[in-house]
Structure 1
Amino acid sequence: MKRNTLLALGCAALAIAGCAAHAQDNAAPAAGGTRTTTTPEGALMQIDEDLPYKPGTLTQEQLMSPTRSLFVLNGMNVFRRFPRENTAEIVKFYTEALKLRSLNPIQLTSSQQMLLTGVGSAQIKLAAGQQGNRKYDMSGGYKAGTGIRFLTLTYPSEQDVIASFTAAGFPAPSFGDRGDGTRAAMVNDPSGFPLELVIRAGAKPGSNDGVGVNINTSDLERSRAFYREFVGLDELPPVEDKLLGITRYPFRHGETTISLYHTGTNEPADNGSAGIQYVVSDTPMVDAKAKARNIAVETPLNKLRGFELITVWLNDPDGVTNYFAQVNASAQPASNGGTGRR
Structure 2
Amino acid sequence: MILVMRPHGDLACWRHILILCCVGALLGAVGARTCCKTDSARSVLWMPAMNTFRRLDANSDTKATYDFYSQILGFTPLETYDVGNGTDVWRIQAGASQIKLSRRNDNRTYVEGAVTDATGLRLWTFFFTDPGALLRNFTDAGLEPPAFEGTAPTRRWAADFVGLEWVGEEHDVRFDTTKHVFRHGATYVALMSFEKTLPADTGTGGIQYVVSDVDRVQQLAKCQDVSIIQEIETIPGYPVRTVWLEDPDGIINYFAETAESRGEEEEEEDIG
TM-score (norm 1): 0.60
Which letter maps to 2:146? P
Number of the residue aligned with 2:240:
309
User: Cα gap change, 1:167/1:265 in structure 2, threshold over 3 Å: closer, same or farther?
Assistant: farther
* Cα deviation, residue 151, structure 1: 0.8
Could you tell me which runs of 5 or more consecutive residues in structure 2 were left unpaired when the two chains were aligned.
1-31, 265-272
Number of the residue aligned with 2:116:
143
User: Which of 213, 220, 240 matches 1:282?
Assistant: 213
Distance in structure 2 (CA, Å) of the matches to 1:263 and 1:330? 38
Number of the residue aligned with 1:73:
47
- Number of corresponding residues: 230
Q: Any idea what the Cα deviations from partners look like across 1:279-307, whole Å, max 9, x if unmatched?
A: 11111110110111111111122234775
Contact 1:117-1:125 within 8 A present in 2 as well: yes
Which letter maps to 2:89? M
Distance in structure 2 (CA, Å) of the matches to 1:201 and 1:309? 35
Number of the residue aligned with 2:254:
323
User: Cα gap change, 1:239/1:201 in structure 2, threshold over 3 Å: closer, same or farther?
Assistant: closer
Contact 1:296-1:315 within 8 A present in 2 as well: yes
Number of the residue aligned with 1:271:
202
1:95 aligns with 2:70: yes
Ranges of 4+ aligned residues in structure 1 off by more than 6 Å = 201-204
Distance in structure 2 (CA, Å) of the matches to 1:324 and 1:309? 10
Give the superposed CA RMSD. Answer: 3.0
SS state at 1:323 partner: strand
Larger Rg: 1
Which letter maps to 1:260? L
Contact 1:241-1:248 within 8 A present in 2 as well: yes
User: Cα gap change, 1:245/1:162 in structure 2, threshold over 3 Å: closer, same or farther?
Assistant: farther
Structure 2 matches for 1:119-268, cutoff 5 A? 119-127=94-102, 129-139=103-113, 141-175=114-148, 177-178=149-150, 181=152, 233-268=164-199
Distance in structure 2 (CA, Å) of the matches to 1:105 and 1:240? 39
Q: Any idea what the Cα deviations from partners look like across 1:41-100, whole Å, max 9, x if unmatched?
A: xxxxxxxxxxxxxxxx43244x63110110111111111111354112202211122111
Distance in structure 2 (CA, Å) of the matches to 1:138 and 1:297? 26
Distance in structure 2 (CA, Å) of the matches to 1:250 and 1:279? 21
1:64 aligns with 2:54: no
Contact 1:146-1:266 within 8 A present in 2 as well: no
Q: Any idea what the Cα deviations from partners look like across 1:103-143, whole Å, max 9, x if unmatched?
A: 1222345853211111223211111x11231111131x122
Distance in structure 2 (CA, Å) of the matches to 1:168 and 1:309? 38
Could you tell me which runs of 5 or more consecutive residues in structure 1 were left unpaired when the two chains were aligned.
1-56, 183-199, 211-231, 334-342
Number of the residue aligned with 1:115:
90
Contact 2:119-2:198 within 8 A present in 1 as well: yes
Which letter maps to 2:62? T
Which letter maps to 1:90? T
User: Cα gap change, 1:303/1:105 in structure 2, threshold over 3 Å: closer, same or farther?
Assistant: closer
Which letter maps to 2:51? N
SS state at 1:314 partner: strand
Distance in structure 2 (CA, Å) of the matches to 1:202 and 1:181? 6
Number of the residue aligned with 1:338:
none
Contact 2:35-2:219 within 8 A present in 1 as well: no
Number of the residue aligned with 1:37:
none
TM-score (norm 2): 0.74
Contact 1:97-1:170 within 8 A present in 2 as well: no
SS state at 1:155 partner: coil
User: Cα gap change, 1:330/1:91 in structure 2, threshold over 3 Å: closer, same or farther?
Assistant: closer
